[in-house]
Every structure is written in structure tokens, then in C-alpha cells.
Structure 1
Amino acid sequence: MKKAMKKTVSTLLAFAILLTGILFAPQAGTTAEAAASYYLPSSYRNMTFFCVPDDLPATYVTLKVYKKGTFQKPKASYIKNIGSSDRSVARPYIDKAGDIRVYFFKKTGTATISFQIGRQTLKSKITIKEYTSPLSKFKIGGRNFASRFASSTECNFFHENTLDSQNVSIKAAKGWRISSMKMKYGSGTFEIGSCKKTTFSKKVTFDGDADYISLTMYHAKSKAYVTLTWNCIKE
């Protein structure tokens, strides 16, 4: 009888231990996720931007962080000890989705953004330089708008009449290249996805209410990109 009782008690005790292990075991999945290996793509480890005088006082770039072997980003709760080596140049913030936004201001300099995920420390170097126009020519017909991009990345041109058969002629400044462009004119569009042009020319008619030309310029030495927009608005 005693032997049977001992066996029953032992069985119940083993079952209780097993049940306790199931109910109160640490969340291994969550711990493993936080300890997983994450990385910054190479293009986000060292970035250069320009402080443009007439643009917004602050702008931002979103750092892309991925779990190795996937495009899965970390949860916001996994990102710890985020900071900047110079908050007057650039400041990082984490939104609820876990994206890291780095705001930079109209001050030249360099700041290193660092943060931890588990035992990993990831870093991104942000360099802010003085802005100089990437264009030496931006002509629409007989008008040269290049000077409008001397202190701003956006130019608004208002007109009342259709601009018939306008030759769009663009030339990059020294050291710059046209990396991509998109143009909307009335019901027509034109797009170059990737290139390294120094000049561009095309004849079009601007007759839409909100036509535009968007250019992404690339500076080979600093490996920086700047996007310029010319808005053609019919009143």
C-alpha cells in the first residue's frame, strides 16, 4: 500500500513540476528575438546630408535595422540606450513601430548615432555639410531656374497659360550626377530609374494643373544624395 502511495505521490509531483514548467517558463521566443543578430545595411552606416538654408529647420532620415537573413525589423522595446554623440547635429527617436528616426538640423558637423539590441551595439555616422546647388543649369524653354535651387531644394513656378513645346535642359554642377528623375506634364509622364547623367534634354508641353520635375542628384565624393523638385502650377 505504501509502495503504491509513494508511486502515486511521485507521479503527481512529477506532473506538478512539468505543469509548473509549462505555465511559468520564461518566454524563450521573446528573449531569443531580443538576442538575435541585427544589422544596419551598409548604406545606413555612413551617411552625408546637406543643411539647405531655405528648407525646413529640421528633417529626418529613417534608419533601417533588420534581423540577419530577413527583412524583419526589431520591436521598439528591443532597442535600448539610443543616443547621439552630438545632439546639436542629429538626434534619434524611436516611434511606436520600432523605426528609428534621426532628425538633423541646420548645423554642419558629424554625429554618431548608437543603440543596443540585446548585447549588440549598432552605430550610424551622420555627416551634415554646407549645401551648394547641384545644378549649373535648369532651363524650361527660355527660363533658367538654376538660381532658385541655390538655397532651396524646391521651386514653385506659377503660370496661367499652357507652356507649349518647352525644351527641358538640365546640367549638373561639377562633381554631381543626375541619379534619377521623374517628370509629369499634363497626361504624360517620363521617368529614369537609375543613371549617372551630367546632362538631360527633352521637349515637352506643360498643360496640367500640377506638373512637376523631380530630380535626385548624386555627389560622388561624399556619396550623398539630394532630391530637387520643380513644381509647375497652373493658376
Structure 2
Amino acid sequence: MVEVSIVRKKLYEEIADIILSDIKSGKLKPGDKLPAIAKMAESYQVSQASIREALNSLKVLDVIQVKHGQGSYINEQMPLGFEQNFEIITKADIANLLDLRKIIEVGCARSACGKAEKLHLEKMKNALEKMWTAVENNELGEQADYDFHMAIAEATGNPLLANLLDDVSETMIRTMKETRRIWLYEAEKSIQKIYDEHKLIFEAIKNKDEAAAEKNMFNHLKGVEDVLLTHY
């Protein structure tokens, strides 16, 4: 007899699913303000921590927007593919992703120093220029961020490394977007810091400085990890 393992959803995932269902059914409409966390906790008979986790997961999915000092709102425009089932990203998923990225991308940065060709450097430079445009326009620029990291993986000359990043591309872009949103809303920080970190990585690879490339990539990814795991 084959044993079947039943994986139960966590409480906050169930709450997030209920909110998603209410949006799809029209019970909650774009632009609607969600009740206060305390009121939602009372309504769902759960802890406020579970409500916060549910809202964080919906924020990463781009379904809701948290306006500091005002509350949580259903986004005016739903993301592409909203009619399909979303995969909720958990804190453990983020931790695992960043661990994977540190293992792979620090090595990629080092390898790219000796193998990056003009085409790869141009791709990195173009991605940096798009990031800077995002900084000037107060936008997030997560796609340019992903393109930069993919260009480094491609510069190693090992297609398996690029394929590994491509396999987790959707989650990478989501977490990049969330990191940038957090930095954008914190007064003492800015998404220009992320741009500056990428520029340091680029300069190290361009100058074939393996030690600096490794160090700058690790520091960047560790910073992303700290930001996400602190706020998620």
C-alpha cells in the first residue's frame, strides 16, 4: 500500500486564499481598503501575526498595496495571470531562494571576471542604465535587476548556471520587486543603494577583480536577505 503524504496549508495561506477568492468573486473590488489587522484577526478568529503574514504574501504577489499609515488596499490593477491560482511565497521560500542565490551567484561573479566578453559586459551595462532610469523615475526596476544577474550567469560560459537562475526566475523577480518596494518606502534608504551595489559588481567584473566581484555580490545578496527576512 502506497502511503500518501497530505500537506496541509498554513493558516496564513488559507487566509490569503480566502481574500483572493473574495477578489475573484467581486466581494472585494480593486481599490477597496481592507479592514484593520486587529479587526481582520477578530473576524477570522486568528492571531494578528497570521493576518500580517497573509497580507505580506499578497503584497509579494502584487495583489494588495500597503500604504504606510493608511492601511492595506486591493490594487487597482491585478497582475497578469490573476485568473490562475497563485503560489504563495513563504518566508522559508525566500530564505531558501537567497541561500541558493548566494551559493550560485557569488561563484558566477568570480567566474565571469575571467570569461565575460564584450557582449556580456554590454548586457550588464544596459541593465544598469535601465536601473538608473528606474531610480530617476522613482520606479522599482526589478526586470532590469534580473537581467543584470542573468547576464553575469551567461558570462560564465556555463549554460547550466544560467538555466538554474532561469528555473527560479519568477520567484527571483517577485523578491527583487519586494526588496525594491521596501527600500523605496524607507526614508533613510533608497533603491539607489541597490543600483550602487550592482555598479560595484559590474566594475569588479569589468576589471577582472575576482576578490572584489565575490565580495560585492555576497554583500549585495546578504543585504537583500536581511531586508526581506526582516520585513516579511
Whether TM-score is above 0.5 comes out as no
TM category, shorter: under 0.3
Higher relative CO (Cα under 8 Å, sequence separation at least 6) belongs to 2
Between Structure 1 and Structure 2, the one with more helix by share is 2
Q: Given the two structures, how large is their TM-score scaled by the length of structure 1? A: 0.25
Between Structure 1 and Structure 2, the one with more strand by share is 1
